[in-house]
Structure 1
């Protein structure tokens, strides 16, 4: 069973049709929307500030989401896929974003709608990733623009698959 822990008077809150892996950890001031999945070894640590997660978000294995005390929060929009071993620290992720495996998103970053962050990238504090773009590298830089249809096609496939995977676990 997932570890759900209250801290400083805040208890995590969850929408409907949620999959929480057995060893996921959700602490403090965290609100998760509907149709989300939070996978194995994932930590959402809302102990020092708020974490808000929209609908149809999948946060894959080993990812960590945290904030800075009194200085940054995490906001994740709808239809977002956060791949394995991603770190998001005090950033805003808008709707329809895909964050690749092992990416790091630092404080006060804003990732625009439909953007893709390449695997292994480090998005430095304060970076504004434009909507409909691909950023990659260390530090992450603009690579190219993509159409809304390209971004939606890639992310919709992943999001749909993760809803299916979550059902596999819920049915057993």
Structure 2
């Protein structure tokens, strides 16, 4: 078995089709990754005390820590979600097309609505419910403004697509000698 994928207490991670798990990342225990999801360098997804379920076309960027609380909280992440570098998620639910900015911390029972954005460096306190298509930021994170749903979907779909391309640079380097990204619309 891959050294990046670790079984614990009878739970072995379930990895979808065409996923990328970078060297140094760890996917542990009761974790499910949807198709085309990437987990980047030094990210740790610890499904040892409860479950972590991640949808398709997500990217969990470098240095992230995802963990849960024993018998209390789990993590659910929808489709086309981007979790920025060095984010900590602890027992959170994140809906489709959301973006969690670099260095943010989301504590237990936080729920991030579809298409919402958490600004980089934010701390989202326990139990906070972030409405769909809103921007939250700060310490503690507070509502900043509403976001256009079409712009949110496009931005997060594009980010997810780019991370799929980046992953292919590692898994199929012969296909990308020029490191060019061709957006799907072209």
| Alignment TM class, shorter chain as reference | over 0.9
> In the TM superposition, what are the counterparts of 1:100-119 in structure 2 within 5 Å?
100-119=101-120
CA distance in 2, matches of 1:54, 1:112: 15
Structure 2: gaps (5+ residues) = 174-186
Matched residue, 2:165: 164
Matched residue, 1:89: 90
Larger radius of gyration between Structure 1 and Structure 2: 2
Q: Does 1:154 align with 2:175?
A: no
Structure 1: gaps (5+ residues) = none
CA distance in 1, matches of 2:4, 2:167: 18
Deviation at 1:122, TM superposition (A): 0.4
TM-score normalised by structure 1 residue count = 0.98
Deviation at 1:159, TM superposition (A): 1.0
- Matched length: 172
Q: Deviations over 1:124-171 (max 9, x none)?
A: 000000000000000000000011112112212211110110010001
> In the TM superposition, what are the counterparts of 1:1-172 in structure 2 within 5 Å?
2-172=3-173
What SS does structure 1 have at the residue aligned with 2:46?
Answer: strand
- Kept after mapping to 1: 8 A contact 2:5/2:26: yes
Between stretches 156-165 and 72-81, larger displacement belongs to: 156-165
RMSD: 0.9
User: After the TM superposition, which segments of 4 or more aligned residues of structure 1 sit over 3 Å from their partners?
Assistant: none
TM-score normalised by structure 2 residue count = 0.91
What SS does structure 2 have at the residue aligned with 1:9?
Answer: coil
